[in-house]
């Protein structure tokens, strides 16, 4: 009888110990990361309140996490923006302001975001565009990628690359399609396109690696021009629903803007290319929206894969774009400007333990993503990072302690560059430290940045305060400036 009692006690003790071990293990399970990027996507999205653009899967992701309403890039150009995000360092620190492939040449010892995860036992892989790619010229290659970031890289090429001759072009297209007013709406399946192939490979990796910690990056090429997506996505946007601003009003918006702010755009204004009509601009805007919905559909497939493999509860999902984009506002197109539409982009973060369906209006930056992921995953990041973890805002989107502004810079040449600072109310921009002009916009009353208040007598105190806040971020190296 005593033996039976002793056996029961020992059995209960073993069960208890086993339970404690399992709890400890559960507490130390490392979260996975699904890192989703879009190329040139602005905030004209249903998830950001646009009544026309359909994004049901981004809506779904936002219900799982936090939508950041005031997220900004460090430079509205693919190469430096992506290098900054992946290193947590500003373009001036990296000395990278162009599309050149020079990350390791100039910063040989930098530890990139994916590299940090590799160094800590994660499987790190990407499909598609995370670092800069010439789009579509370098689709299907490693382009400006950083091999040290990844265990595996996948470079698909769909019909948007292999059948470029089918793409409709507007304006005098003398170069490639990387800067173009061009579109194509083939009757095709998602899987025939590069972005469909990107999603396919990431889904495969989710299934293959679900039992080990992973950092998987899905780099979608859309909606970057040329705007190519299956016709079913074009059908979501009848042309009679697509509008572009009145050009007289658009031109008037630029009357109080320093010339340097739009110097790349005015020779062939509007729409950047000579001879592009308003109807053609509307067609390109329709195509851009179609590409947004195409990307959204691929994001839905990725979220489905997490659910199907029981990984939702232990996976951090981050969706971001590398910068914003003009679609005819002020008569402008593309990026590379210090205005809100060029600097602001979508950012949504879902993570275990945070309340979903919330939004934050605090200004944040893309370079904040590196310290955020390190923080959420319990990894020790490099001490040199220039961003700040967004974890406080994930826990409390209205955190009153968050006072950090967002800084975006533009660099065209040694003679043409500027910096823009965004806080919760104001956007303030200096060109050549004010020598070539200043801009001040009140986003509480002028979200479209129509009225430049920099020369207003009643706003000089604001100008002085914003200039003082901006000054520490102006760190362009001597060889990149001509004083």
H/E stretch holding 76 reads none
Look at residue 164 and give its three-state secondary structure.
helix
Q: From CA 471, how far away is CA 248, in angstroms rounded?
A: 36
- State residue 390 phi and psi, 5-degree precision: -90, 5
- State residue 35 phi and psi, 5-degree precision: -110, 105
Instruction: Please confirm, yes or no, whether 132 is among the known catalytic residues.
Output: yes
Tokens in use for 285? Answer: 């805007």
Examine residue 226 and say whether the peptide bond preceding it is cis (omega within 30 degrees of 0).
Answer: yes
C-beta of residue 270 within 8 angstroms of C-beta of residue 247: yes
Q: From CA 112, how far away is CA 206, in angstroms rounded?
A: 22
Query: Could you tell me how many residues make up the chain?
Result: 483
Query: Dihedral of CA 96/106/114/195: which sign?
Result: positive
C-beta of residue 223 within 8 angstroms of C-beta of residue 38: yes
Label the pairing between strands 123-128 and 152-154.
parallel
Examine residue 270 and say whether the peptide bond preceding it is cis (omega within 30 degrees of 0).
Answer: yes
Examine residue 192 and say whether the peptide bond preceding it is cis (omega within 30 degrees of 0).
Answer: no
Q: From CA 103, how far away is CA 105, in angstroms rounded?
A: 6
Which of 132, 193, 224, 323 does the annotation list as catalytic?
A: 132
Q: From CA 399, how far away is CA 228, in angstroms rounded?
A: 41
Q: Look at residues 40, 37, 70 and name the one whose alpha carbon lies nearest to residue 336.
A: 40
How much of the chain is in helix, strand and coil states, percent to nearest 5? Answer: 40, 20, 45
Instruction: Please confirm, yes or no, whether 78 is among the known catalytic residues.
Output: yes
**Matching residue, tokens 């102006």:** 474
Which of 43, 78, 284, 377 does the annotation list as catalytic?
A: 78
Q: From CA 335, how far away is CA 323, in angstroms rounded?
A: 8
Strand order of the β-sheet with 227-228 is 168-170, 181-184, 227-228
Which alpha helices (H) appear in 235-274, and where do they start and end? 247-252
Positions annotated as catalytic residues are 78, 132
């Amino acid at each position: 009888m005593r033996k039976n009692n002793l056996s029961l006690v020992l059995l209960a003790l073993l069960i208890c110990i086993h339970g404690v071990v399992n709890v400890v293990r559960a507490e130390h399970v490392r979260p996975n990361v699904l890192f989703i990027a879009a190329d040139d996507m602005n905030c004209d999205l249903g998830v950001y309140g646009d009544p026309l653009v359909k994004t049901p899967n981004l809506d779904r992701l936002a219900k799982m996490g936090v939508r950041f309403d005031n997220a900004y890039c460090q430079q509205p150009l693919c190469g430096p923006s992506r290098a900054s995000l992946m290193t947590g360092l500003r373009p001036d620190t990296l000395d990278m302001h162009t599309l050149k492939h020079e990350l390791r040449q100039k910063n040989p010892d930098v530890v990139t975001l994916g590299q940090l995860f590799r160094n800590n036992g994660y499987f790190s892989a990407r499909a598609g565009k995370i670092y800069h790619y010439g789009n579509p010229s370098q689709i299907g290659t490693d382009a400006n990628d950083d091999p040290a970031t990844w265990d595996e890289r996948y470079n698909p090429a769909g019909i948007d690359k292999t059948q470029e001759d089918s793409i409709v072009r507007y304006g005098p297209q003398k170069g490639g399609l990387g800067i173009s007013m061009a579109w194509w709406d083939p009757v095709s399946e998602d899987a025939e396109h590069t972005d469909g192939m990107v999603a396919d490979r990431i889904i495969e990796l989710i299934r293959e690696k679900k039992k080990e910690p992973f950092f998987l990056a899905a780099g979608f090429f859309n909606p970057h021009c040329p705007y190519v997506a299956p016709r079913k996505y074009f059908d979501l946007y009848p042309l009679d629903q697509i509008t572009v601003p009145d050009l007289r009003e658009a031109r008037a918006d630029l009357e109080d803007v320093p010339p340097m702010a739009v110097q790349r755009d005015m020779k062939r204004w509007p729409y950047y290319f000579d001879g592009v009509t308003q109807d053609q601009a509307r067609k390109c805007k329709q195509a851009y929206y179609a590409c947004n919905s195409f990307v959204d559909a691929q994001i839905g497939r990725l979220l489905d894969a997490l659910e199907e493999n029981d990984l939702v509860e232990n996976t951090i999902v981050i969706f971001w774009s590398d910068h914003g984009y003009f679609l005819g506002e002020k008569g402008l197109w593309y990026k590379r400007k210090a205005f809100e539409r060029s600097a602001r982009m979508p950012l949504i973060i879902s993570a275990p333990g945070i309340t979903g369906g919330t939004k934050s209006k605090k200004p944040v930056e893309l370079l904040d993503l590196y310290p955020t992921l390190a923080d959420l995953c319990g990894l020790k990041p490099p001490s040199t990072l220039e961003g700040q973890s967004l974890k406080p805002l994930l826990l409390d989107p209205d955190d009153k302690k968050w006072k950090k502004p967002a800084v975006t810079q533009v660099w065209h040449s040694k003679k043409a560059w500027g910096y823009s600072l965004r806080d919760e109310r104001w956007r303030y921009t200096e060109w050549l430290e004010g020598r070539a002009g200043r801009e001040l916009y009140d986003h509480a009353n002028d979200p479209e940045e129509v009225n430049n208040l920099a020369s207003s007598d009643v706003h000089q105190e604001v100008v002085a305060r914003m200039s003082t806040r901006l000054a520490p971020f102006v760190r362009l190296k001597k060889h990149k400036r001509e004083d």
